[in-house]
Structure 1
Amino acid sequence: MNKNRIYRIVILLLFLTSISLIILLTNSKSSISSLEEKVENQATIIKNLNQYTKQIESNLTEARSNIKKQKIEKKVSASKEFNDYVTDSLIRSIAEYDLDRFKLTIRKIGKYEFDKLTAKNQSNKYENIHHVDWKENTDENTERVNDSIFVFKLDSGIKDSLNNEDIGQMSFSAYKYAGFIDEINSYLFAGQYFEAHDCVLINKNTGNKKKLKHHVVSSPKNQTLITYDWDNWVYVSGGITIYNIVDKKLKKRLEFYPPGCNSYLAKGCRWSFSDVNITSKNSIVFTCEFQDAETSQTYNCYALMNLKEK
């Protein structure tokens, strides 16, 4: 084989190789272009899915917020309706009582009227005498000897004492000095016992002791003293007693026991006086504390009680 023929064969092989490479590269570019297009399509799909997911999450968050808001609004609305129903029914049910010597009327009032009436007097200054933070305030006639013994002086000059007692078997009596009530010339002590409280009056002239209910309200201006009980665990009232102050002595005027369970509600409702203020000789304002006997939900409203002698 001569050199020219070999040369031509080599040239032909190189040409064919070049053609093959061109065809291969063209096909590769086409494949790459196709793959790139597919990748772009997938990226677009992923982007759209992400946006759709964010939209769904946003919708779910808004839906949860709306549901929560509706539940709260429904609960508040139901509570307000029940509260209004109970308080209105309560006051209507005891709107008027015919007692032996008095006609007693009670009506519901708003907080503004309650605050306005109570701002004019300080008749409830003994309201918190059973609270642990109540501080004794002694004078020259009174002295705390120790945690168990309190000594006070009578008008005769003789000293007497009131002692705490440990009776045993979870029974005890403990007394804390609450103050001196000048209009009845008496020392006032807050008495604490096992699961019970009361008040003790000790006459400075005679030394005689008189038990009163849990709370004491005194009004020098109206020569009136009120004592009442209520249990803020079960909201059962121990009633309210109103005394006239005559010649520095207590003269019982009226004793009233509100209904412990009222039949006008299917579930029943216990209630009691609280935060009593004497506004005149024949009227008081108070917070009516009450509790649904079945659900134990507690509520309150403000009320005005008037007395009229027959």
Structure 2
Amino acid sequence: MSKSLSEVFSSAWSMAKRNFVALFVPTVIYVGVVLLLYGINASGELTSLTRMDQAGYVPQGAPIWTSAVMFAISVFLAPLYSGFITAVLRGTSITGKPTPMRAAWQAACANYTKYLLTTLTQILFGFVFAMVIAVIAVVAVFVSALQNMVDWAVYSPDVWEALATLFSALFPAIVIMAVIGWFYQFSQMFLSYIPGMEQTQGFKAFFSSFRYIYRGNFLKNLGHILLAEVIQGLITGLVAVIFFLPFFVNLGMCINMDSLVTAEQILHPLMWGLPLYMLVGGLVSSLMSVFFTPYYFEVYQSAKAETDRREAAKGAAIPQYPYGR
């Protein structure tokens, strides 16, 4: 049977306490490497913006190829991290004791290929999903624009009025696509555990996550994950507001000034605030992960058990007739 919310919280908290170091240390390393890679690229872009001249010319920031290199590094690093974390949680769920980091590392290395193939499968389907959403968006824009163009030919609105009219026409489609995108991501919530727990990979692991989400008591899964994401979103949003508030205050002051201001003056709070935000945000994210990763793991185990129970009951309900009847 699927676990209640209190049971999930209790199990996740117990597992997090037993494996705090084994969960926190690799998470800090993984998050730190990813943030460092993308932070270097972001700082390069911000630096180029601060050098924008009065004519609006922006010098070139980081080379385009650096983004591809950073993406590749994160793709090949993620399977190792997911395999390690899953090994820690699997060991504790079986033995009830803390999992040695050495044993988790060995399991992560042994399952690296399975996780890498699953990650590449996820990227493939993500690309296909993005293309489908892009086609829908283009069609929605065309349909909305076609009707508006007929009206605009009559009364010729200004640019801002035309954009506002177009956005209002597209708003329902934007909301629907955002909801579809969220459910697509929601359906993959268990994907980081399946290769290490079930020794499956690629397409089978990808679709198993969908199966557990929708067959393993969908409403409970939805409630568990929505609650976790709301809590994490509020904490992350609070940290972001604290660190980026000086930037928006400075931006408002610059807009209200009579004299011309430079891009460097506008972006100065963001230049010093971004590295500090990434440092503190990375630590906060890592601390949240120590609890919420076991939390999602408990939801996964509960959903899998419920899916197996329902499928077994459905199979047992089918009458078995002897041959020849």
Normalized against structure 2, the TM-score is what? 0.23
Report the structure, 1 or 2, having the larger helix content: 2
Report the structure, 1 or 2, having the larger strand content: 1
